[in-house]
Amino acid sequence: MKFISWNIDSINAALTGISVRAGETREVLRKIAAMKPDVIAIQETKLSKNGPTKKHLTVLQELFPNYEVAWRSSVEPARKGYAGTMYLYLAQYEPKVTYPKINAPEPMDDEGRIITLEFPDFYVTEVYTPNSGNGLKRLDERQIWDDCYRDYLCELDQQKPVIASGDFNVAHEEIDLAHPATNHHSAGFTDEERTHFSKLLAAGFTDSFRHLHPDEKGVYSWWAQRVITSKQNNSGWRIDYWLVSDRLADKITEAGMIDSGERRDHTPIILEIDL
């Protein structure tokens, strides 16, 4: 099966925008559609609590015929139009869709950060992990989130194997970002965040990219949008992951990044696995 995950940074802008960036985003969506994945996970949809509009659904249907849509938006008391997640999956599948709450600090559970698809023999789940924020003002809450999320994945894993993707908002090791020395205390590369990601892997999960490419350098999934030269210089971070239960690791056949051209910010990530 083929899975793709992408932090799209606003599904509305992607589907209805007229900017150069919106055009670049739609080109990436067309590229994804041509790859014919079984499941597409999308983070940071930034939709209203009512979800995709009829226009959004029409464009999605044009881009991805034969796919069903599941979505989750931020709801009060969380900020409006914030975070949010979505799945597109082939209509031939009929997974059970759930929208879990993990007892995270308020209002994180209301920010639409997790959707889970239950298939007969495995779970597919996506996450948009909270950013620790400017000045690390949300780092304490983020660490509690990490503990709660790890508990949730372990709970799933006890029932059947798990395939988990998303923007985890952490570069795990120094090899996972271009400038580790100058980012040691930056959100996404603090000791606390990296330690929690290590705990997640130790709990029974495999980083699919590092499983296949243990020593590969210079491969990232995010480049700062506001820094024009970030992608030109490959000054990036690998903060998006496909994780699998350890017992699925030997079934991974491909794990990597999908080229998004000149578009900065996140790039889609792919997992192919023999299930």
* Catalytic member of 38, 109, 157, 167: 167
Residue with tokens 């491909």: 254
Reading the block at residue 62, the tokens are 């044009």
Is residue 128 among the annotated active site residues?
A: yes
Residue 272 neighbours by CB under 8 Å, 6+ apart: 1, 2, 3, 252, 253, 254, 255
* Catalytic member of 67, 87, 89, 128: 128
Is residue 167 among the annotated active site residues?
A: yes
Q: How many angstroms separate the CA atoms of 222 and 77, rounded?
A: 29
The strand order across the sheet containing 85-90 reads 67-72, 85-90, 39-43, 2-7, 269-273, 252-257
Helix segments in 130-190, DSSP class H:
139-157
> How many residues are listed for the chain in this entry?
275
Q: Which residues are catalytic?
A: 128, 167
